[in-house]
Amino acid sequence: MQPVRGTHDLLPEEFLVHSYIKKVAFEVMENFGFSGVDTPIFEFLEVFARPLGDASDIVSKEMYTIHDKGGEVLALRPEGTAGVVRMLISNGLQQEMPAKFCYAIPCFRYERPQKGRQRQFHQIGTELFGVSSFYADAEVIAVGLEILKSLKVDNQVRLHLNTIGDLESRKVYREKLVEYLRGYENDLSPESKIRLEKNPMRILDSKDQGDRKILESAPLLHDSLNPESRAFFDGLRNVLETQNIAYTIDQKLVRGLDYYSHTVFEFISDNLGAQGTVLAGGRYDGLVKLMGGQDIPGVGFGSGIERIAMLLTEKPSPKRPTTIIPVSAEDEEAAWSLVFNLRKQGLPIDMGYSGNLSKRMKKASKNNARYCIVLSKGDLANNQLSLKDMDSGDQFMVSVEELPLRLKA
C-alpha cells in the first residue's frame, strides 16, 4: 500500500512536532489579538478560482477539483486566505471591522513534490481585515516574527520586505518595465517571454541567470511610486525600525495579482533548498471586494508548518509516564485499579499488558518512563508502594496517600 503521492503520514514523533508548532503559534497569535477560526477543507471552486484567476498556475494546474453527486464543482483549498474571506462575507462579519483571525489548516495543491513541497501540506496563517494603516502591516509582520522567535528558528531566517505600491503606481511601473524588457525580448528565458505577456511583474523574481542580468539595469519599481504609496512604505519601515525588526529591502519581491497592494514580505531561510520561504504575506486591499464583499482592506501571512518543522533544532519530547508494574500475575488486578485511580487525577500513567517484571521494566525504560511503581499485594496490605526513580535508579517505599503528590512533584 502506498500513500497518495505528495502526502505524508504524521507518525508520533512528527505529530508531536506539528502540534508543538501549532500550540506555540496560537499562543503568540492570540496574544496579538487574533482569534482562531477554521473553515471547510473544500469550497465551491469559485471561491478560489475568482480571486486567483483562471490563468494562474494554482487554478489552471494545481487545484484539486471535485464534482460531487449533486453536480456541484468543488475544490480542495490551495491556500487559506480565500476561505477566510468567504467566511467573513458569509457570516456577516463585515459589520465588525476591524477583525483579526488566525488558523492552522491543511491545504492541497497538485504539484510535483520536492523538498519543502507536498501535495497536502499545513499552513498557519493570520488575516487582519479593515485597517488601511501600515500599523496593521507592521502587526502582521511582528506576529510572524514572534512565532519564529518563540520556536527559536528566527536566527535561520531573514525578513525580505518590499512594496508594490497601489494600483496606480503599479500600472505606471508595469508600462515602464514592459517597455524596457521589450528591448531584450529575444534574450529572455522562455518562461519570461510568456510572463512578459501574462504577468510582467513576475519576471522580476526570475531565477534565470540571463533574466537576472537583463534586470540589473531595469527600471526600479520604487521610482514609480506615487506619494501615497511612498508614504505608506516609509511609515511601515519607520515602525519596523522603531521596533528593531531587521529587514532587507528586496525590490525583486513581487506579487502578480491586482488585488495585492503595498506591502509584500517573506521570511526566507537558506537551509531549505529551493523552497526557502518559511512565512510570507502581504496586503490585499482589493480581495474582499473582488469576492463580492465590501471594499475592506486586508493584510495577512501564511506559513508552512512542514517548512518550520525542518528548521526546528529543539524537538519537543513526549510526556514521561509513570509505569505501573505488577510483581506477579496475582498483583495484576490491584495494579489496574491503581492505574485507573491515578489516571482520574490527570497523571500520565502507563501499564503493559503482559510480561514478567524484568520485561516490563525494560519496556518502561524504553518508553522513557519517569517513575515505575512496583506493586505487590503484600506491600499494598501495609498501604505501601515501591516507587522507582528511573533517572537516578533510586527506589523507595511511599504510602498510597502520598503517591499522587510524589508523582506530581
Partner RNA sequence: GCGGGCGUAGCUCAGCUGGUUAGAGCGCUAGGUUGUGGCUCUGGAGGUCGCCGGUUCGAAACCGGUCGCUCGCCCCA
Other CB atoms closer than 10 Å to residue 270's CB: what's the count?
Answer: 9
Cell numbers found for residue 161? 520586505
* Piece of 3-11, 18-26, 164-172, 229-237 that binds RNA (CB under 7 A): 3-11
Query: What 3-state DSSP class applies to 339?
Result: helix
208 part of the interface to RNA, by CB under 7 A: yes
Judged by CB under 7 A, the residue of 2, 186, 242, 244 near RNA is 2
Q: Is 160 helix (H, G, I), strand (E, B) or coil?
A: strand
Q: How far is the CB of 120 from RNA (least distance, A)?
A: 9
Give the separation between CA 193 and CA 200, rounded to whole angstroms: 9
d(CA 244, CA 240): 6
Contact flag: residue 402 with RNA (CB under 7 A): no
Does position 209 interact with RNA (CB under 7 A)? The reply is no
- 58-66's contacts with Cβ under 8 Å and 24+ in sequence apart are 58/109, 61/110, 62/109, 62/110, 62/111, 63/109, 63/110, 64/108, 64/109, 64/110, 66/42
Helices 12-31 and 134-150: angle between axes, nearest 10 degrees = 140
Q: How far is the CB of 390 from RNA (least distance, A)?
A: 3
195 binds RNA (CB under 7 A): yes
Residue 75 sits in the site that holds RNA (CB under 7 A): no
The yes or no reply on residue 41 touching RNA (CB under 7 A) is no
Residues 6+ apart with CB under 8 A from 100: 32, 33, 34, 35, 126, 127, 128, 129
Residues in contact with RNA, counted by CB under 7 A, come to a total of: 64
Q: Indicate the pairing of strand 157-163 with strand 65-67.
A: unpaired
Residue 109's Cβ-count burial label (10 Å; 0-12, 13-18, 19+) is buried
284/127 Cα distance (integer angstroms)? 10
- Pattern 237-256, binding to RNA, x per CB under 7 A? -------------------x
274 binds RNA (CB under 7 A): yes
In whole angstroms, the minimum distance from the beta carbon of 350 to RNA comes to: 13
Whichever of 143 and 372 has its CB closer to RNA, that residue is 372
Site string for RNA, 127-166 (x = CB under 7 A): ----------------------------------------
Residue 104 burial (10 A CB sphere; 0-12, 13-18, 19+): buried
Type of residue at 53: G
Q: Is 323 in the site for RNA (CB under 7 A)?
A: no
326 binds RNA (CB under 7 A): no
Residue 237 Cβ vs RNA, minimum distance, rounded to whole Å:
22
Instruction: Return the C-alpha torsion angle 54, 55, 58, 62, nearest 10.
Output: 90
* Cβ closest to RNA, residue 298 vs residue 304: 304
Q: Does residue number 307 form part of the binding site for RNA (CB under 7 A)?
A: yes
Q: Is 378 in the site for RNA (CB under 7 A)?
A: yes
Q: Which of 271, 356, 382, 383 binds RNA (CB under 7 A)?
A: 356
Alpha helices in 134-226 (DSSP H): 134-150, 167-182, 190-198, 209-215
| Beta pairing partners, 388 | 372, 395
Task: Among 13, 27, 38, 57, indicate the residue that binds RNA (CB under 7 A).
Answer: 57
114 makes contact with RNA (CB under 7 A): yes
Taking the least distance from each CB to RNA, the nearer of 221 and 361 is 361
SS3 351: strand
Between 223 and 311, name the residue whose CB sits nearer to RNA.
311
Point out which span in 2-10, 96-104, 290-298, 312-320 binds RNA (CB under 7 A). Answer: 2-10
Q: Which residues bind RNA (CB under 7 A)?
A: 2-3, 5-6, 56-58, 61-62, 79, 109, 111-118, 121, 123, 191, 195, 202, 206-208, 256, 266, 273-275, 277-280, 302-304, 306-307, 327-328, 355-359, 361-362, 364-366, 372, 374, 376, 378-379, 386, 388, 390-391, 393, 395
